[in-house]
Chain A
Amino acid sequence: MSHSTRCAACKSLRRRCPKDCVLAPYFPPTNPQRYACVHKIFGASNTTKMLEQLPLHLRAVAADCMSFEASSRVEDPVYGSVGIISQLQEQIIEAQSELVKTKGEIAFHNAQQQLLQQQQMQQLQMINAVDQQGEDQPSWLSSSQQDPFTNVNQQLLEDYNYSNTFCGFEF
């Protein structure tokens, strides 16, 4: 008994496709290119052997990976999928280097911010210390522009002015 349509592998190999064909589930006739690459790189016999050695539930994954490796090798006959690995490793090195540089810049900015804040704190403390010293002097000495009589009872001030003029002369 054979499949009504042969799988891509059996078509390529020009043979009957049995019902229990190992390759049929993974190399459908709708995608002949997929099997063509695998056949070119690994060979029909090796492909079948490698799949047969695996449990059924892993064969689809394995067939996909072999197909990927085979097509990579067809595209790049010198390096194949190893070329992709090299490119990725280079990308990792570049990204790591860029990340270290950027984190360095962030650390530098943060350090600057901290220094600025510390300086501001110190200045504030100095101003507060000067203010504290100022509180010990008579209030009317603390500012030359301050009215010396602000703390004086207004009534007393009026009395003072009245008494100065009562006797007809000013003190």
Chain B
Amino acid sequence: MGGSSPCASCKLLRRRCAKDCIFAPYFPSDDPHKFAIVHKVFGASNVSKMLQELPVHQRADAVSSLVYEANARVRDPVYGCVGAISFLQNQVSQLEMQLAVAQAEILCIQMQQEPNLPTHQIDQVDKSFLLSTNNFDNNNIPQYLSFASSSNVIQDPLKRESLWT
């Protein structure tokens, strides 16, 4: 009963750590910073509610992602995780553009190697090229950043420090 030490959350909140404490499995007492940062950004009450709404087998992942988001928001109080999302989206766009160019080059090479291709087959090649370039149309990439407000949110993400460096 009184043998085990309280979890990090109950220590911080200065309360008795119950046997069925919802935080205890995920916020051990040897890592107080983990709960402190989550509490600072989300609040203990909100975290408790969020965990209660999840099945037990998903709570560990939820805590990990909450800790990640909280850390991102403390490091970058303006953009938080969204800065990273913007940075990665830019990378994806650039890579897909490079890929489209490379695939167009392959197509040109293939067409040069078959100069006697009948007209109807050339039309088929054009269609497949159009289809393949359509795959890299930006309209097909999920646009995660579409804010309701008119403010220009992502001002210059590439200049800011990446969370992944």
Contact = CB atoms under 8 A, between A and B. Distances in A.
Interface stretch (A64-72, A123-131, A162-170): A64-72
Main secondary structure of the interface of A (DSSP, over half): helix
Most buried by A among B45, B81, B98: B81
Contacts of B133: none
A121 interface: no
A61 B78 contact: yes
Given A77-B62, A78-B54, A81-B69, A95 B96 contact: yes
Contacts of A6: none
Main secondary structure of the interface of B (DSSP, over half): helix
Interface residues of A, number: 46
A43 B49 CA distance: 12
Interface of B: 40-43, 45-46, 50, 53-54, 58, 61-62, 65-66, 68-69, 73, 77-85, 88-89, 91-92, 95-96, 98-99, 102-103, 105-106, 109, 144-145, 147-149, 151-153, 155
Given A61-B155, A95-B96, A99-B102, A77 B53 contact: yes
B85 A46 contact: no
Nearest to B87: A88
Given A60-B151, A78-B62, A99-B95, A85 B109 contact: no
Nearest to B144: A84
A112 B76 CA distance: 51
